[in-house]
Each structure stands twice: as C-alpha cells, then as structure tokens.
Amino acid sequence: MIKEIQLRVNLIEERKENILLEKAAKFLKISSQSISAIKVLRKSIDARKKETIFNYKVAVYTNEATPEESTYTFNYKDVSNAKKVHIIGFGPAGMYAALRCIELGYKPIVLERGKNVQERRRDLKAINQDHKVNSDSNYCFGEGGAGTYSDGKLYTRSLKRGDVRRIFENLVFHGATEQILIDAHPHIGTNKLPKIIKNIRETILDFGGEIHFSTSVTDFVIRDQKIKALQLNNDKEIDVRAVILATGHSARDIYELLHKKNIAIKAKSFAMGVRVEHPQEIIDQIQYSCPGERDELLPAAAYSLVHQVNNRGVYSFCMCPGGFIVPAATAEGEVVVNGMSPSRRNNKFANSGIVVELDIDKDFKKYEHLGPLKGLQFQKDLEKIAYFAGGRSQTAPAQRLVDFVEGKQSDHLNETSYQPGLNSAPLHSLLPKVIGSKLRKGFPAFGNKMHGYFTNEANIVGVESRTSSPINIPRKEDLEHVQIEGLFPCGEGGGYAGGIISAAMDGERCAEAAIAKL
C-alpha cells in the first residue's frame, strides 16, 4: 500500500536520523517496522515564524519496494534522413524544440549565433575583466541561452502550459541532480548547467540533428506570405519549410529585421529597475530570525517582495542567494546587470532585481513614433545612460540603498560581487521618473516587511533591464505566426515565456505545432 502524507520537521528534529520514518509511523498510527520505504516527493522551508520548519510531502510504502525508475521515458530516434525543422536559437526553447523534434521523428537544424559553452567562457572572461562585449557571445547569447551562465533557477508558475515534470525529468536524464524533482524552488547552478547543456547537445547530434554555432540569421526570404529561406551571416541562403524562432528576449536585431520587413510584431509591457545587493548574512538574519551565522542545515536565505506604488507593482525578480551580479550587455555602449548563483549558493552576497511594472500604453509617449519598437528603444536608452554613468565601460553605476532613497550621491560604496566594478553615481536622478520614483517608495516599504533590509550596507546597481521581452511576436492558436506561414514564434523572445522551464515547454509545443503543419 502507498500513502502520500505531509510532514513537518523542525530544525532540531531535522538532525535526527530516520526522523521521517518516525514521523510517518506516528502520523499513520502504524509500526515503523511495517514501513518498507519512504520517498520524498517535495521539500520546502517555512521560516516565517521564529521556528524554522521543513515541510515534506512523502510517499510511504508499506510492504512493497520503492519504484526505482522514473515513469518518464525519452524515446529518441535516428532522424539523420528525416524531414527538417529549422530552429533559430539554442536556449531552453530551442533545445527542447530540437529534442521534441527528434522524439517525433523529425530532424532539427539548429542555428545559433553564439558559441558552445566551452568557447563561450572566453567571451565572459573578456566582458568581466577587459570590459569587451562580443555581440554574438556573452551572458545572453550562446549555447544554452541566457540561463546557462546566469543561475539556472527552475521555478515556474506556468503549470497550465505543459508538463512541467517532463522538463525536470529530462534535465535529470541529461545529468541534473534528482534534487530538482523535490525542492519547492529547484535550482541547478551556473557551475553545473554547462555540463547538462553539453549532454543535451550530444543527444541531438547523436540522433542525427544538426547544430550550427556562430551562425546568425540575417534575413528572412518571404514569398506569398510563406517563409521560404533564411539568409545566414549576410551570405549563404538555405531553403526552409518550418522555422521555430527561439532567439530569446535580447535578440534586438531580429525584432528590427521583422519590423523592417513588415512582419507583424507588437510592443508589450515589461519591467525594469535595478539590482540590489546585500551581504548574505543580513538576509539570513532577517529570514531565519537568527542574530549570528545561519545554521549549517539551512540554505542561504532567499526572499520575495512586492509592493504597490501608485497602482504599479514594484517587486523582486530573479533573487540570487549566495550569488553574484554579472554584466549582461549584448553590445558595446550599454551596461546591463543580471544575477546568478552557483549550485552551493555559498558566496557572501545576496542579490535580486528590484523592478517596476511599465505600461506600454502609458509610459512611452515620447517613443510612440517608433511603433512596436518603442519599449525596445526605451530599454536601449536606459542602458546607454548606465554605460556613461558607469564610466564608459562595463563598470556599473551604483549607490548605497538609503542614499538612493534620500537622494544623496554615495561618497563610498560597499564591497560587491560585480567583477567589472562599480562607480558611484546619482541613480536617484539618472533613472527615469517612472522607475526611480517608484523604487524610492518601494524600498522603504520592503524595509517594513523585512526589518533590516533597508540599509546602507546594501548597494543598488544599474540597470536591470532584461527581465522579459519588450516585444510580442503574435501567433495564432496553432502557434503559427498570424501573418507568415511556416514561422513559429517561440519562448521568451516571442513573449511567450518567462524563464527556463516555461521556455522549454513552449519549445516542445512549437515543435509539435511545426511538425503538425509539415
């Protein structure tokens, strides 16, 4: 017999051997000897009260063995000579579109502007140490997309868009720890993701798919409202029948190309702001109500914050406990920041994006003449301001948190994890009013919710501008573009996803849709 039950374990009990067995037996009012196995299905931590509680959902097996293998199988076929589906971009959406094509017996041809994970590291070193931005290979572009070297958080609310568990199981199939199947907020870590992505690449190649790195799509050949060919690197043309467009939220050249060719795109609302960095110790003390160092059984504490300012949300985004701030620019002349954490989350800083909701119909009046590109240009202009305020390099403009709210330029800044360095700048006056004024009201409100959060021991760093796409590429119910036959906008770049898992699920759906058309 199998029963699923919920168990609560406090910090002292968590140290005890066989505590789940003991708790399960007591809960079910049976002898512990009659329990043959316990399988943890879900684990989370509740630190809202003074006592920290571990919540477990477990399957209790009595008189039968725990099933050892997953019920998910991935039946990849040799597609070397099969019909082709072309996929532009090799982030989560592109990767999972390719894997799904192979399962369904079609050959994916992946075109990725960036480099593979190994070669990409050199370009990340160049941006961190030499302040040189390779516009095709950086923290956003390259094998695995933006998530590869910026954290690998797997939390998603997109439970109705597809089989979330299937994506997690596939990551485990390709080398991820089984812990991601259990944790309430699963995370792989920037140090471990590249190996998993390499394994996915090898699966695609082993079963007859193709992946072409350093290959940019520079034009679409459209005839009779059908996509007929792609131009690559301003040179070679290849014929196509079905194209999945999975270029990510930073592929501005693709948006501009679509607009230039009168292929329908729409401006959409998004969010922008700054990244705030605290010593991790401060966040631990707040969240775990502990005066000193956190208990060794507890992970680096995270937080999630939201506050309404003049009917606009100000909220935390991509919170990275024990992490680093990284430079996420995709071109020279701009400064963009993002956050990441290694798998152990053992760095001494915690960082999070703190962003403001922007309304595409109200907040971009002076950009209206740009039509669907208005939000994109606003993004660009703010990143350019950050570039000049940082000192015309990848050094980022920064201010201590309380100084920002009080409107004072900081005479010195706190230590930071941001490798290119910080430059003291008056972000309170540099940020557009629609963002800066709401942040200056939001931070004190966060301090009221988390006592100790609103402190000058924290820096704010600008700008956090790539939270999501400022563009939506419209598609019909069958996921094909509303205007161009054979084109399937996909993932974050199309405006249909907000992270690794939702993008991966959308990639699978678009693969199925493209194949249905073929």
Can you give the pLDDT at residue 158?
59
Q: Based on the structure, what is the number of domains in the chain?
A: 3
- 79 lies in some domain: no
Can you give the pLDDT at residue 147?
81
Same domain, 280 and 354: yes
pLDDT of 148-203, one tens digit each? 876 667 876 655 667 899 999 999 999 999 999 999 889 898 889 999 999 999 99
pLDDT at residue 59 tops 60: yes
Name residues whose C-beta falls within 8 Å of residue 506's C-beta, 6 or more positions apart in sequence: 93, 161, 162, 490, 491, 494, 496, 497
Paired with 353 in beta bridges are: 275, 317
Name residues whose C-beta falls within 8 Å of residue 258's C-beta, 6 or more positions apart in sequence: 220, 264, 265, 473
The average pLDDT across 117-127 equals: 96
Domain end position, chosen among 464, 479, 494: 464
The average pLDDT across 392-421 equals: 98
Can you give the pLDDT at residue 160?
60
pLDDT of 475-518, one tens digit each? 999 999 999 999 999 999 999 998 899 999 999 999 999 999 99
Same domain, 454 and 503: no
Same domain, 207 and 247: yes
Same domain, 391 and 477: no
Same domain, 301 and 259: no
Strands (E), 233-381: 236-239, 243-245, 266-267, 270-279, 306-309, 312-320, 324-327, 337-340, 349-358
Same domain, 20 and 106: no
Can you give the pLDDT at residue 60?
94
Whole-number Å distance between alpha carbons of 467 and 382: 14
- Look up the CATH number of the domain holding residue 248: 3.50.50.60
The Cα angle at residue 63 between residues 62 and 67, in degrees rounded to 5: 80
Whole-number Å distance between alpha carbons of 501 and 505: 6
Same domain, 120 and 254: yes
Same domain, 298 and 441: yes
Local confidence band at 292 (pLDDT 50, 70, 90 cut-offs): confident
- Phi, psi (deg, nearest 5) at residue 255: -60, -45
Whole-number Å distance between alpha carbons of 345 and 246: 30
Structure tokens at 363: 């907040």
Can you give the pLDDT at residue 63?
79
- 43 lies in some domain: yes
Same domain, 445 and 502: no
Can you give the pLDDT at residue 54?
97
* Cα-based distances in Å from 356 to 273, 303, 427: 6, 17, 15
- Domain extent, residue 317, equals 269-464
Structure tokens at 247: 């270029």
pTM tops 0.75, yes or no: yes
Same domain, 348 and 446: yes
The percentage of residues in the chain with a pLDDT greater than 70, rounded to a whole number, is 98
Mean pLDDT of the chain: 95
Same domain, 343 and 454: yes
Q: Where are the alpha helices (DSSP H) in 364-486?
A: 374-390, 401-406, 427-430, 433-449
